[in-house]
Structure 1
Amino acid sequence: MVELSQAGDGLYKRGFAGDTFNTAWYARRLLPEEWTVSYGTCVGEDAVSSEMLDFISGEGVDVSTIRRIPDRTVGLYMISLENGERSFSYWRGQSAAKLMADDLGWLDGILKGREMIHFSGITLAILPPKQREAFCGALSRARSKGAIVSFDTNLRPRLWESPEAMRAGLTMGARTADIVLPSFDEEEELFGDASPMETIERYRNGGADMVAVKQGGAALHLWQREAGLHEIAAETVTEVVDTTAAGDSFAAGLLAGLAQGKAPQEAAAEAMRLAAKVIQARGALVPSIFA
């Protein structure tokens, strides 16, 4: 999406970001150069869509998996910050990404042969109910053919028709995934979970092989079917500047570590360190931490 972030004095800076793209951006920097990181979505044929494609490609992420749709454009969101915490305003009415599950031949094609696929609750929230089912069906087909599927629940209540629809959609999304990445405060509010262990239990019963329950500045609860349960202490953070992309960068760190054969605890600890660096800088994408 087009991102408008505060630049001071009432001014905003335009960029391109969004939860799953943020994960792809960080993963690209964490993985070996010869590996391919692709981004699957739909954009329009207007000027800003072309600029977005140029940006994504320029950041080293493969755009051959992006479909262009006439008479559509890309979504826009504006970030407001208060004491380092973010809130969002969205404009998505003509977003081409809302048609991502309209062409299942294309969708199956871009998922075919992938070793790892990552999606989020926002991915599901922007799709109409029938298309959510179609999208999850495509993920299930890819998973049955060997892809490891990762799902960041990433709640955005205003994008859903109702709390009931959100609960149903997230549950359906989680059932398509090997790895589920929830945040406990969101799970507590939406599902009434009393502890991270309740969150783990629900997703484990839904078929996940790994669940990593994030708790902001508190310990991560990581469960993996073979390795069991581990708590991983949060990194010390001097000052929280901007929590944008904290979960997205964590997902990238965890998935990149797992893809390179690291043990779940090691990959999760490295992911925690990455997220801690990201929230001490402004914006979703922080190139300076890789300098």
Structure 2
Amino acid sequence: MNTISPLGPNTPRIALIGECMIELQQRADGSLQQSFGGDTLNTAVYLSRELGDGATVDYVTALGDDSFSDAMCQSWSEEGIGLDMVQRLPGRLPGLYCIQTDASGERRFLYWRNEAAVRDCFTTPAAAPILAALPDYDVLYFSGITLAVLGDEGRKKLIGTLIEARQRDARIVFDNNYRPRLWSTVEQARTAYREVLPYVDLALLTVDDEQALFQFSDCAAVFAAYEQIGTPEVVLKRGAEPCLIRCGGESFEVPALRVEQVVDTTAAGDSFSAAYLASRLRGASPAEAAEAGHWLASRVIQVPGALISRG
């Protein structure tokens, strides 16, 4: 397998696969602030900001032909994200979710996504050239949510794409993001994860999700499982606790940054992943990359919503 390392003098091409939804942020007075968000989209935005002109960042998804989908594409373009891999399906709509936060900043999500256009992302006739183009990217990034929303047929096509991409020396990056309500059963989710994990070069894991999905007893058990799979680089994200990393036969931890007031933890893990990956692609060590991830995540959790203002 490939390790995540600098990709040389050429501008790397990175494709992130997943779903962006209409985001409603519920405020204390009950009013709603509308924006857009989704785990891989959040990472795409922060990755584009981190790498700037040093990389090409494209988003792979399916949207409708409605005004919300138009606005999404406009906002992505403004962030420097390429739209060539975005399908627009007539008569369809994007998904929608609402974020509710408690006094400590922890969030609860309410979803409306069963008929979202992304569920047909890899099954339409228009998907064929997109699937054919993906193996030529330098980095492919997807998540557990991607696996869930693509469905059985879409997942099979994704796996075929991952196999071909790795044969062409692409790096495969996976964020586990397990959401039980997106799966019919935990066994279905476990099967889907186990089918893709052998092709992953960098696993960005949230420890709570790993324990919920695979019933691991502790972090050591998580690392042991991924060592058996053969994943060369594994990062365990643990919120305010130090992240744990195993790479190149070495294990170490990197402390998180202390934040006095947490406003909203939405996209904390997504932003960490973006800064970590960007740093590794620029040549930083795993420890340096984790420090960058913690720094960006510490900024994100101090404001409401998934995406903070640029600057």
TM-score, length of structure 2 as denominator length = 0.88
For 1:171 and 1:209, locate their aligned partners in 2 and report how far apart those are by CA, in whole Å.
16
Give the drift of 1:199. 0.8
Q: In 2, distance between residues paired with 1:195 and 1:51? A: 43
Listed as ranges, the gaps of 5+ residues in structure 1 are: none
Matches within 5 A, 1:219-230: 219-224=242-247, 226=248, 228-230=250-252
Q: Which moved more, 1:18-27 or 1:264-273?
A: 264-273
Q: C-alpha offsets along residues 65-98 of structure 1, whole Å, 9 cap, x if unaligned?
A: 1111122111111111112111111111321111
Residue in structure 2 matching 1:22, options 34, 42, 58: 42
Change (3 A) 1:56 1:220: same
**Contact map agreement 1:107 1:138 (CA 8 A) in 2:** no
1:272 correspondence with 2:294: yes
Is the Cα contact below 8 Å between 1:23 and 1:252 reproduced in 2?
yes
Q: Report the residue type matching 2:256 in the other structure.
A: A
1:257 maps onto 2:268 in alignment: no
The aligned residue for residue 93 of structure 1 is 114
**1:15 CA displacement:** 0.6
Question: Could you tell me which residue of structure 1 aligns to residue 138 of structure 2?
Answer: 115
> Looking at both structures, which has the greater relative contact order when contacts are Cα pairs under 8 Å and sequence separation is at least 6?
2
Q: 2:64 aligns with which of 44, 68, 73?
A: 44
The one-character-per-residue Cα deviations of 1:28-58 (angstroms, maximum 9, x if unpaired) are 1111325211111111112221121111112
Displacement after TM superposition at 1:284 (Å): 0.4
Name 1:132's counterpart in structure 2.
155
- The correspondence for 2:167, drawn from 144, 156, 161, is 144
- Show the 5 A alignment for 1:1-291: 1-82=21-102, 83-103=104-124, 105-224=128-247, 226=248, 228-287=250-309, 290-291=310-311
Contact 1:43–1:73 (CA under 8 A) maintained in structure 2: yes
Q: Please list the CA deviations of residues 203-237 of structure 1 after superposition, one character each: whole Å capped at 9, or x if unmatched.
A: 2222311110111111111011x251111112111
Give the counterpart letter for 1:89 in structure 2: L
Maintained 8 Å contact 2:122/2:128: no
* Counterpart code for 2:226: Y
Give the CA deviation at 1:109: 3.1
Secondary structure of the corresponding residue to residue 93 of structure 1: coil
Q: What amino acid maps onto 2:105 in structure 1? A: G
Q: CA RMSD in A?
A: 1.5
My pick for the range that moved more, 171-180 or 240-249, is 171-180
Describe the shift of the 1:106–1:95 C-alpha distance in structure 2 as closer, same or farther (beyond 3 A): farther
Amino acid at match of 1:243: T
**What is the number of equivalent residue pairs in this alignment?**
288
**How many percent identity over aligned positions?**
38
- Runs of 5+ consecutive residues of structure 2 not aligned to the other structure: 1-20
CA distance in 1, matches of 2:273, 2:195: 20
Query: Post-superposition, which runs of at least 4 consecutive aligned residues in structure 1 deviate over 3 A?
Result: none
In 1, the alpha carbon distance for the partners of 2:132 and 2:77 equals: 20
Q: Is the 8 A contact 2:259 2:298 kept in 1?
A: yes
Q: Helix, strand or coil: the match of 2:150?
A: coil
